[in-house]
Amino acid sequence: MGERSGYTPGTFCWAELATSDQDAAKAFYAELLGWKSDDRPVGEGSVYSMQLRDGKLVAAIAGQPQQQRDAGVPPLWNSYLWVDDADDAVARAVDLGATAHAPAFDVMQAGRMAVIQDPQGAYFMLWQPNEHRGAQLVNAPGALVWNELQSPDPDASGDFYSALFGWEVEQFPGMDRVYLAIKNAGANNGAISELSQPGAPPHWLVYFGTEDTEAALAKVDELGGSVLAGPIDIGIAKIGIVADPQGAVFALYAGELEE
């Protein structure tokens, strides 16, 4: 497992579920991934539910903004990338062809964030830390282990993120399809692939670790979620792609893990 107190700029540091039913989602992920909730008030009648595994922060479950629901956006997982200066990162992203849907703003004392849509259409969040320094545990069962961009143009996506964050992006050897491995400051930081589902929007797919992919997929089904693909044997691991009962899509991974 990998314990963290901070991240190199350009590294995925946090995952956050925006859901239509916060209580139901908390119950689902507690059963599936062993999470415990730490609800923190963020306004009248609202909480931001930090999720802990083995006493360490691993993710969050939040209510989906009403404007997203009104627009027909399904519940989804948001991926956050660590930056030293959110305002500067927003300006650079826009210069590279991205859209700033929410320019940098303060999140109380936790940090400063922005919502960006890359030139190919995928959304991601920028996170400039203050009191909140991202996930305290990664690369472990019940924690974030991988982030994968599904893009209509992987090469163009690779160029954009390389220019924005300084990522090193190259084709993963031995693959019979486009699958670009990402390294940030020499460390593995996810991948970029072609869209695997016709008609699906470009998106960052989050992977969470589990001890047994087959058992986890059966649990997803038992808990009212949907198995979309898997188990798939990729050599170093078995993976599965699923949706929770509210419709948010994510992936499960059981296999080799980095520190």
Same domain, 69 and 154: no
Residue where one domain finishes, among candidates 84, 109, 129: 129
Same domain, 91 and 158: no
Number of domains comprising the chain: 2
Amino acid 14: pLDDT: 98
pLDDT digits (tens, 9 = 90+) for 77-132: 999 999 999 999 999 999 999 999 999 999 999 999 999 999 999 999 999 999 99
Cβ count near 5 (within 10 Å): 7
Same domain, 125 and 12: yes
96: Cα within 13 Å, side-chain hemisphere: 21
Please determine, for residue 248, whether its predicted confidence score (pLDDT) is greater than 70: yes
Confirm whether 212 is domain-assigned: yes
**Do the Cβ atoms of 58 and 143 come closer than 8 Å?**
yes
Range of the domain at 92: 8-129
Confirm whether 182 is domain-assigned: yes
Whose structure tokens read 């500067």?
88
Same domain, 109 and 209: no
pLDDT digits (tens, 9 = 90+) for 39-53: 998 877 889 999 999
Same domain, 228 and 251: yes
Q: What is the CATH number of the domain that holds 251?
A: 3.10.180.10
Residue 133 is given by DSSP the state -
pLDDT digits (tens, 9 = 90+) for 205-229: 999 999 999 999 999 999 999 999 9
Confirm whether 2 is domain-assigned: no
Same domain, 114 and 82: yes
User: Can you tell me the distance from the alpha carbon of 110 to that of 128, in angstroms, rounded to the nearest whole number?
Assistant: 9
Cβ count near 176 (within 10 Å): 5
pTM for the structure as a whole: 0.95
Confirm whether 229 is domain-assigned: yes
Confirm whether 1 is domain-assigned: no
